[in-house]
Amino acid sequence: MEKSIIVLATLIALASCTPEKPKFEEGEKKKSSAVEEVVDPTKGIGQVKHVTLYNPLDQERIQRGKDIYEMKCQACHRLDDQRVVGPGWKGVTKIRKPEWIMNMITNVDVMLEQDEEAQKLLELCLTRMPNQNVSIGDARDILEFMRQNDGEK
Amino acid sequence: MKQNRLMLIITLGLALLALNGCKPKGPAGVTTGDAASKVYVAPGQYDEFYNFVSGGFNGQMAVYGLPSGRLFRNIPVFSVNPESGYGYSEETKPMLNTSHGFVPWDDLHHPALSTTKGEHDGRWVFGNANNTPRVARISLATFRTEEIIELPNSGGNHSSPFITENTEYVVAGTRFSVPIGDKTDVPISSYKENFKGSISFIKVDPQTGRMNIAFQLRTPGFNYDLSRAGKGPSHGWFFFSCYNTEQAYTLLEVNASRNDKDFIMAVNWKKAEEYLAAGKGRKERARYAHNVYDEKTHTATSTMLDEVTVLDVMELPDIVYFIPCPKSPHGCDVDPTGEYIVGSGKLAAVMPVFSFGKIQTAIANKDYEGDFAGIPIIKYESALHGEVKKPGLGPLHTEFDANGNAYTSFFVSSEIVKWNVQSLQVLDRVPTYYSIGHLCVPGGPTAKPHGKYVIAYNKITKDRYLPTGPELTQSAQLYSIDGDKMQLLLDFPTIGEPHYAEALPASLIKDKSVKIYPIEQNEHPFAAKGEKMARVERKGNDVHVYMTAIRSHLTPDNIEGIRVGDNVYFHVTNLEQDWDVPHGFAIKGATNAEILIMPGETQTLLWKPLAAGVVPFYCTDFCSALHQEMQGYARVSPAGSNTPLKFSTGETASQK
């Protein structure tokens, strides 16, 4: 774990001369120091263990998810497949498990420290995804909006 | 003495030899071997206490950790702070509005932490503006100044803020008596006839903390100094030190030091409340500003008020009594039990300790030696618990521990003296370096002192630190009071001139600290809650830029169509929702300052471009690996030109 922090810090330091400020809250620091037992690595790390998806999509969730996207996510994520600050969202629900997506949104600091896929993205983007203080329920709404963005009905 | 000098020469010689020796020994090696370990807080560990220290003439309040003496924050209160934009941003300018207009500076002397049942409750800290009389309330959740109220009829607000047991009132006396009312253009020599004192009782809403002046006491014309509220048995009373009972108006140094005794003024504020409820208050015209910062709109508003209710203690009996106190009393401190009141005459050889019980008996028996302006003067001996004999020179202030002991600062003899409140015996004394003013024991003025340390706030530093030209750092010194003997543990420099300070256990507030402002709750009228709302609008000569900031770009970052003569308002919303990720905003040539925007907050910088050209702007707070990329351009065209208003982020055109 410490090693990964050093790797991260080195990467960031390479990109600019000063490493980024640490962004951990006390509670999160404690959580991250004891590496959780990861059952299914493709689901990421965090509170979200299982998500049930329904069809057709929930239109109210989509609208709420879109509103949150515009307030908290749009600055870095486009809806096409182009990377701006973070990766574009097109296709994200096809290549990531819903649990992984929601854990990435709600538990981003731990994910960036411990999840290999998240770390690969950080190496690519070189900007830590911020903790945008999104609740699990809000993350579920965002997921619904992502599914719609990926063409589900 | 000679040996010491020899040692000093040797030490200096060694330091010179070392050339880069970074820590020369102080002139007085009085700390003992284990002092360092007692103040050492390991990296990543927290201090046990917060220490709120007045900044004096810097108009701010500094926050230190104890026992380490590490500086955490410098909270702007009465002075503009270009570092955060306080007093420069459109949102915070109204905080410094007064009846005299915008006042960018003041002199903050006394922090006062809110209490419930006489004990620290960790809600707010209050502070006073000495020069243009005001009282401020600072939130201990945000560490920001939330409210400032001006005090009419006050001639200088040194005598403040003092809080009652449950923070029912914040009370402010007046240092200078002044002519009050319709006729204020009078000869200075008519002091006795025309000059009056004023004690403001500011009511504090227990939920919101909002302040309003409930009433003012009109008092005889002399100088009002420090005060403490009663507690426990003396709850409902206040005790003020008064000097210049000679009523001098020139060369006070001599003319206000003639009387053998001045007064401690005992105020029965419950009685004043009764008069107020009975309609005995007189409404008088007054003009004063009340400024409130709203955490939802992230904006301050300033309201000008025009009336105050006055209770005249020379007409309404039983509110005020005088107790003689030797020679120009300064500190007037009430012990944790609420029974004993310590008066410290700056020029006196003894320190009187008065008994609240005896004062009550004397009033009941009308045990008076005369009156001043119709106000009874209680006989000194009748109010006296006893005197501390030969305590030192120039007693100023007293704080207490939980074991019945008092700690008094002595300015002239530069020392702290520990004595027992009951027996009045001096128990210990330690030197301070140099000329101590106030001192602080954590919880020292409350009903429940937390003890452990006493901190000296010194007026003179001289040779304690590396020299920095004629102007030297101000300083504090930390002493252990755990044992029988006080022990010097640490010197630490302070920002501004420290006057009074208070300290409370970190556990009372650290977990309530606000980390972010939820963006969903941002009600700023110019907020851009998401990049989709980022835009530029022109209204006549006013251009409003609704800008967002997130690691690591500003939106919009290309703006065209601004003209010379425009007022350009950059309303910057920080879209981050993570702790400790502020963004800053500055634009070349702005004649005010930068703004610093906390996560979820909106702040506005006004910029008046004077010349055509392309002007850079950028984020000033290092926020991410790509912080140096967080920048943009504003194009300014000549006045009257037709450059269309355009704004974008991430749009590119093919370049030749």
pLDDT tens digits for range A80-111 = 999 988 999 999 999 999 999 999 999 999 99
| Residue B20 confidence (pLDDT) | 37
Q: What total of structural domains would you count in chain A?
A: 1
| One-letter amino acid for residue B116 of the chain | T
Average pLDDT of the residues in B226-236: 97
Residue B654 domain-assigned?
A: no
How far apart are the C-alpha atoms of B536 and B542, rounded to whole Å? 10
Report whether pLDDT(B323) > 90.
yes
Q: Does A133 touch chain B (CB under 8 A)?
A: yes
Write out pLDDT tens, residues B324-364.
999 889 999 999 999 999 999 888 889 999 999 999 999 99
Contact B46, B68 (CB under 8 A): no
Write out pLDDT tens, residues B485-533.
999 999 999 998 999 999 999 999 999 999 999 999 999 999 999 999 9
Q: Which A positions 34-93 lie with beta carbon below 8 A of chain B? A: 70-72, 74-76, 84-85
How far apart are the C-alpha atoms of B331 and B264, rounded to whole Å? 10
**Which positions ≥6 away from B481 have C-beta within 8 Å?**
B401, B407, B418, B441, B451, B452, B453, B454
Question: Given its phi and psi angles, is residue B117 left (phi above 0), alpha (psi -120 to 50 degrees) or beta?
Answer: left
Task: Provide the pLDDT confidence category of residue A78 given band limits of 50, 70 and 90.
Answer: very high
Shared domain for B530 and B493, answered yes or no, is: no
Per CB-CB distance under 8 Å, the chain A contacts of B553 are: 75, 85
Write out pLDDT tens, residues B520-561.
999 999 999 999 999 999 999 999 999 999 998 999 999 999
Query: How many pairs of residues across A and B have Cβ atoms under 8 Å apart?
Result: 75
Of B454, B480, B512, the position where a domain reaches its end is: B512
Q: Does A127 touch chain B (CB under 8 A)?
A: yes
How far apart are the C-alpha atoms of B149 and B483, rounded to whole Å? 43
Shared domain for B473 and B570, answered yes or no, is: no
What is the DSSP secondary structure assignment for residue B91, as one 8-state letter? T
Shared domain for B186 and B295, answered yes or no, is: yes
Min Cα separation A37/chain B (Å): 26
Q: Is the dihedral of CA B186, B190, B193, B194 positive or negative?
A: positive
How far apart are the C-alpha atoms of B147 and B138, rounded to whole Å? 7
On average, the pLDDT of chain A sits at 83
Of B512, B541, B566, the position where a domain reaches its end is: B512
Report whether pLDDT(B163) > 90.
yes
Is A127–B622 a contact, with Cβ atoms under 8 angstroms apart? no
Distances (CA, A) of B600 to A65, B515, B544, B582: 19, 10, 19, 9
Write out pLDDT tens, residues B427-473.
999 999 999 999 999 999 999 999 999 999 999 999 999 999 999 99
Is B580–A20 a contact, with Cβ atoms under 8 angstroms apart? no
Write out pLDDT tens, residues B546-604.
999 999 899 999 999 999 999 999 999 999 999 999 999 999 999 999 999 999 999 99
Q: What total of structural domains would you count in chain B?
A: 2
Shared domain for B376 and B449, answered yes or no, is: yes
Nearest partner of A130 among B367, B623, B160, judged by Cα: B623
How far apart are the C-alpha atoms of B79 and B96, rounded to whole Å? 8
Write out pLDDT tens, residues A108-139.
999 999 999 999 999 998 888 999 999 999 99
Residue B577 domain-assigned?
A: yes
Shared domain for B483 and B563, answered yes or no, is: no
**Test mutation, A14, A72, A123, A128, chain B, max B CBs within 10 A:** A72
Per CB-CB distance under 8 Å, the chain A contacts of B524 are: none
Shared domain for B565 and B432, answered yes or no, is: no
| Residue B450 confidence (pLDDT) | 97
| Residue B520 confidence (pLDDT) | 96
Task: Provide the pLDDT confidence category of residue B158 given band limits of 50, 70 and 90.
Answer: very high
| One-letter amino acid for residue A122 of the chain | L
Per CB-CB distance under 8 Å, the chain B contacts of A75 are: 530-531, 548, 550, 553, 555, 575
Average pLDDT of the residues in B213-237: 97
How far apart are the C-alpha atoms of A114 and B309, rounded to whole Å? 65
pTM value?
0.90
| One-letter amino acid for residue B541 of the chain | N
Q: Does B387 touch chain A (CB under 8 A)?
A: no
Min Cα separation A39/chain B (Å): 28
| Residue B606 confidence (pLDDT) | 98
How far apart are the C-alpha atoms of A104 and A110, rounded to whole Å? 9
Task: Provide the pLDDT confidence category of residue B29 given band limits of 50, 70 and 90.
Answer: low
Per CB-CB distance under 8 Å, the chain A contacts of B579 are: 23, 25, 131
Give me the residue from B529, B555, B578 closest to A23, CB to CB: B578
Contact B204, B170 (CB under 8 A): yes
**CATH code of the domain in which A95 resides:** 1.10.760.10
DSSP string, B143-196: -SEEEEEE-TT-S---S--EE-TTSSEEEE--SS-EE-SS-----GGGHHHHEE
Is B529–A71 a contact, with Cβ atoms under 8 angstroms apart? yes
Q: Does B516 touch chain A (CB under 8 A)?
A: yes
Residue B655 domain-assigned?
A: no
Give me the residue from A15, A74, A131 closest to B577, CB to CB: A131
DSSP bridge pairs for B215: B201
**CATH code of the domain in which B208 resides:** 2.130.10.10
Shared domain for B497 and B541, answered yes or no, is: no
Per CB-CB distance under 8 Å, the chain B contacts of A124 are: none
Is A85–B553 a contact, with Cβ atoms under 8 angstroms apart? yes
Nearest partner of B319 among B370, B273, B379, B368, judged by Cα: B273
Containing A102, the helix (H) or strand (E) segment is: helix A98-106
Task: Provide the pLDDT confidence category of residue B2 given band limits of 50, 70 and 90.
Answer: very low
Contact B555, B617 (CB under 8 A): no
Residue B44 domain-assigned?
A: no
Residue B8 domain-assigned?
A: no
Shared domain for B221 and B315, answered yes or no, is: yes
Q: Does A23 touch chain B (CB under 8 A)?
A: yes
Contact B441, B459 (CB under 8 A): no
B370-373 long-range contacts, CB within 8 A, separation 24+: B372/B220, B372/B245, B372/B263, B372/B322, B373/B220, B373/B314
Contact B441, B478 (CB under 8 A): no
Containing B308, the helix (H) or strand (E) segment is: strand B299-312
Per CB-CB distance under 8 Å, the chain A contacts of B552 are: 85, 127
Per CB-CB distance under 8 Å, the chain A contacts of B548 are: 75
Shared domain for B506 and B610, answered yes or no, is: no
Residue B366's CB is within 10 A of a number of other CB atoms, namely 8
Q: Token pair 């020292």 is at which residue?
A: B444
How many helices and strands, by DSSP H and E, does chain B display? Answer: 7, 46
| Residue A37 confidence (pLDDT) | 59
On average, the pLDDT of chain B sits at 94
**CATH code of the domain in which B559 resides:** 2.60.40.420
Report whether pLDDT(A18) > 60.
no
Structural domain of residue A124, as residue ranges?
2-149
DSSP bridge pairs for B496: none
Structural domain of residue B564, as residue ranges?
521-648
Shared domain for B534 and B508, answered yes or no, is: no
